[in-house]
A and B are shown apart, each in its own frame.
Chain A
């Protein structure tokens, strides 16, 4: 089993609030990712990181920001939540090398509802 954790699992928050979604992994993986997924829809990559102090935007434009100060931690922040941010947010990590170089391990997700 992959050791990647996300908190909170569920969050209901009002418009305009600042929120941080936490993601941690204990596998020592260099690469980490954030995806956004609406119910029944495909996953969209919104942020990724090659390693400490490295962050890049993904294919889907997002108003969120991320940081990577420690290898194991990749938090996602929304400065001012809006109803359009309502979605499921999935964090993943993958090792930098090895045979299965592109296998990603996913966390359980955070389901965010902005009212």
Chain B
């Protein structure tokens, strides 16, 4: 399983765009990149998944360069309720490794 590296924490202000980058240098051909969000005392919640280029849904965008060795989760116009831990996962099989995640603090 490919190891992922992402910043431990980030701060932002309401209304700003937040970009969280994840490195996964050993990603395999069949691996997908998936991001989850977790609030305190809750289970993680799926945000977005991609294989290459750009994926966008109603809550986020995921940018993946051609070499796929990194990915960037983009959250447009964050609000206080976006304060959470964000996990980047590389999943190519049954097991998934969540890692430590990035703690995002959104300030007023």
Contact = CB atoms under 8 A, between A and B. Distances in A.
Contact of B94 (A48, A107, A111): A48
Interface of A: 31, 35, 41-43, 45, 48, 50, 58-59, 88, 90, 92, 100-109, 111
B46 A59 contact: no
Interface string B76-108: 000000000001010100111111110000000
Contacts of B36: 104
Interface of B: 32, 34, 36, 41-46, 49, 87, 89, 91, 94-101
Contacts, number: 51
B95 A45 contact: yes
A92 B95 contact: no
A92 B43 contact: yes
Contacts of B91: 102
A42 B46 CA distance: 16
Nearest to A91: B43
Given A108-B42, A109-B41, A43 B98 contact: yes
Contacts of A43: 44, 87, 98
B94 A104 contact: no
Given A42-B98, A45-B97, A102 B49 contact: yes
Given A48-B95, A90-B43, 15 more contacts: A31-B94, A35-B98, A42-B101, A43-B87, A45-B96, A48-B94, A100-B46, A100-B49, A102-B89, A103-B34, A103-B46, A106-B43, A106-B45, A108-B42, A109-B43
Contacts of A106: 42-45
Nearest to B93: A102
A59 B97 contact: yes
A48 B101 CA distance: 21
A35 to B, nearest CB: 8
B94 A50 contact: yes
Contacts of B101: 42
A45 B45 CA distance: 16
B1 to A, nearest CB: 9
Contact of B100 (A42, A102, A107): A42
